[in-house]
Structure 1
Amino acid sequence: MFVAHWITVLWDVWLALWLLAAFTSKRTVQRQSQNSRLAQAALMVFGFYLIFGPVRWIPASGLKRAIFAADDTTAWIGLALVAAGMLFSFWARAVIGRNWSGTVTLKENHELVKRGPYRLVRHPIYTGLLAAAAGTAVIYLRPMGFVGVLVIAVSFWYKLRTEERFMVQQFGEEYEQYRMQVRALIPFVL
């Protein structure tokens, strides 16, 4: 499937650029516990495995078979969601700049960023990645892929709750006000 190839290319490019950008972050002064990080990472990896992986331990049930036959329309919708989600996450990563980290941290001279995509949602990188994961699930149309998106959403919810505690600790009332004005993941909804 032509579109499936481009999904893989997009995810590979995203990962390579994301890893390169990790070298530009400020020095960390506080980090989430290792157990918290491992739990969140395990959920995320499991979710992506459900979307992409050949899940052999699931019986040949309806979870592995496509909900209905994929066609060009669903393929292009999925590709558009992946591309839009990745672009949104890149935009958020560019705006947050050197304050970014792959784990929940406080950086030296940490700034509370409220511009760009952070005006729409408090965690736009997670929003973008969830859209990209959902788009990937749409490409393959397997129920286990949609379960994977839900598992990834749970991992992000777990991570953002830890992150929000750090932000309240660092920015106090300013962050509380921001939290009241801007939704966590989906504008005007959640």
Structure 2
Amino acid sequence: MSYRLIIPVLWLAWFAVRMVFARRVKADAAREGVASRLTHVLPLLVAAYLLAAPNVPVPLLDARFLPPDMRFVRLGTSLTFAGLAFAVWARVWLAGNWSGAVTLKHGHTLVVTGPYQWVRRPIDAGLLLALIGTAVAVGEGRAILAVVLAAAALWRKLRVEEAVMRREFGDAYRNYANRTRALIPFVL
């Protein structure tokens, strides 16, 4: 299989895993409003389009920032795989507490083990690494814009969810946040 086909297959596998596990969650106790959710979902959809479209009708966005070299495609594929594998591990570890939206579940527990001992948002960290990998493989300006849009959307969602977690878990969450970085271990 061509490396250029592997990345779409990896992303499709991520969405399939996400859909399968979406059925195995606890009931919602509180859920983010539609308007709030759209502020991070819409930029993610635009980012997905920019990465998936074969070409974007804006010359600057189709300009290459990396040469069309298979080494970059292989590197990008490896980063995409690593990021999605980390996100899947975090999703499985989170179990019934997971939701694609900012949600508080009935019987929600604070998970601080597994990948959550390294970062508070390991699913988002994995997705960001996978997006960077995909951008490296694509090598065009549109991919940089996609990563910037996705990072901004994930950061916005992080801020909303952090507020919910601090309200729900109080000092336990504040202590966890003080010792564990949000997205990049030891950095951010």
Same fold per superposition (TM over 0.5)? yes
Shift of 1:67: 2.0
Q: Which amino acid aligns with 1:20?
A: V
Percent identity of equivalent pairs? 39
1:24 is paired with a residue whose SS is coil
Runs of 5+ in structure 1 lacking a partner?
A: none
Q: Distance in 1 between matches of 2:66 and 2:96?
A: 44
1:14 aligns with 2:4: no
1:109-120 aligned at under 5 Å gives the runs 109-120=107-118
Q: How does 1:113-132 map to 2 (within 5 A)?
A: 113-132=111-130
Which residue identity lines up with residue 168 of structure 2 in the other structure? Q
- What is the RMSD computed on CA atoms of the aligned residues? 1.3
Q: Is 1:48–2:48 an aligned residue pair? A: yes
Question: Equivalents in 2 of 1:128, 1:7: separation in Å?
Answer: 15
The DSSP-based 3-state class of the residue aligned with 1:86 is: helix
Give, in angstroms, the shift of residue 68 of structure 1: 3.4
Partner letter of residue 9 of structure 2? V
1:36 partnered with 2:36: yes
Give 3-state SS (helix, strand or coil) of 2:23's partner: helix
- 1:113 is paired with a residue of what secondary structure? coil
> Do the aligned partners of 1:89 and 1:125 also contact (CA within 8 Å) in 2?
yes
**Map of 1:90 onto structure 2:** 88
Query: What is the alpha-carbon distance in structure 2 between the residues aligned to residue 140 and residue 132 of structure 1?
Result: 12
Q: Count matched residues.
A: 188
Residues 21-46 of structure 1: CA deviation (Å, up to 9, x unaligned)? 10001000000111000111001111
Cα distance in structure 1, aligned partners of 2:55 and 2:165: 37
Q: Distance in 1 between matches of 2:176 and 2:21?
A: 26
* CA–CA distance in structure 2, aligned partners of residues 67 and 170 of structure 1: 44
Alignment partners' CA distance in 2, 1:82 and 1:68: 17
Deviations 1:127-161 (A, max 9, x none): 00001111111111001101111110000000011
* Matches of 2:150 and 2:65, distance apart in 1: 20
Give the match's secondary structure for 2:62.
coil
- 2:90 touches 2:123 (CA, 8 Å); kept in 1? yes
CA distance, structure 2, for counterparts of residue 78 and residue 11 of structure 1? 13
Output the CA distance in 2 between the equivalents of 1:76 and 1:181. Answer: 35
1:3–1:75: 8 Å Cα contact kept in structure 2? yes
Output the amino acid matched with 1:38.
L
Which residue pairs with 2:25 in the alignment?
25
1:54 to partner: Cα distance: 4.5
